[in-house]
Amino acid sequence: MEKNDQIQVHTFNWGPCVTKLKIRDNFKELLLSEAKKNKINYEHKLAGQLHREMGYTQESKDIIAPELAKYLGVYDQMFQRYQNKKYLTPPNYAISALWVNYQRQYDYNPPHDHDGSLAFVIYLDMPEKLIEEHKAYKGKSCGPGGIQFLYGEGDRQAITYMSQMPQTGDMYIFPAWLKHYVSPFKSDITRISVAGNVHDKIPISVLPKNFKVEGQD
């Protein structure tokens, strides 16, 4: 685990660049407070079989974006180090989607990928009862409430998946095309996470209604 401008960061040694960070408390509180303001139903847009998935408004995205940019900047540094290659042109990111997941007992998220260039997930609340349930799990998958990333095919000598049991405050940033899933759990609790899609080239369909091209009225 490295520290980058006081942000703890770790990059995993396998196929695509998946970076794990520990977010600061002020960012966590910002995401929680803005989530309470949002009432955009995202359930029809997403793969999850979850109790509730709510989208952030454009106003909230604008408030969150400057803080999120710091973590995307850390990912860019780790990605260049991972590839041992500098960017010819640094990417210019924009949030194309941002939503909060309220996962409850027996909810799950089947294998899926995301739209855009990068995706991320941030864990705002991983209750202790869920942590204890996961500790008691004896299988080889990501286990109750965990996240599993899937990549490529191969025999048992190849690393084709990566299982993680997140803690509160953990953030994972990864290529949007990387398939992953979330396991159900039996504990009667609510697991809260925020997920988002980031584009480095913005499709017209996700531009804000008040977007203006510079130099035009």
pLDDT tens digit string along 98-121?
999 999 999 988 899 999 999 999
Name the residue among 207, 209, 193 with its Cα closest to residue 99.
Answer: 193
From the number of C-beta atoms within 10 Å of its C-beta (0-12, 13-18, 19+), residue 37 rates as exposed
Question: Does residue 71 register a pLDDT over 50?
Answer: yes
pLDDT at 40: 76
Comparing 210 with 123, which gets the higher pLDDT? 123
pLDDT tens digit string along 179-211?
999 999 999 999 999 999 999 875 545 555 554
Give the pLDDT mean for 58-79. 94
Q: Which CATH number does 2-200 carry? A: 2.60.120.620
Is residue 136 within a helix (H) or strand (E), and if so which, with residue range? none
Burial readout 111-127 (b: 16 or more C-beta within 10 A, e: otherwise): eeebebbbbbbbbbebb
Give the pLDDT mean for 148-157. 83
How sure is the predictor about 212, in pLDDT bands with cuts at 50, 70 and 90? very low
- The mean predicted confidence, pLDDT, of the chain is 86
pTM, entire model? 0.85
Helix axis angle for 25-35 and 58-83, nearest 10°, is 140
pLDDT at 214: 40
Q: Which two tokens stand for residue 185?
A: 């759990």
Alpha carbon distance 142, 161 (integer Å): 10
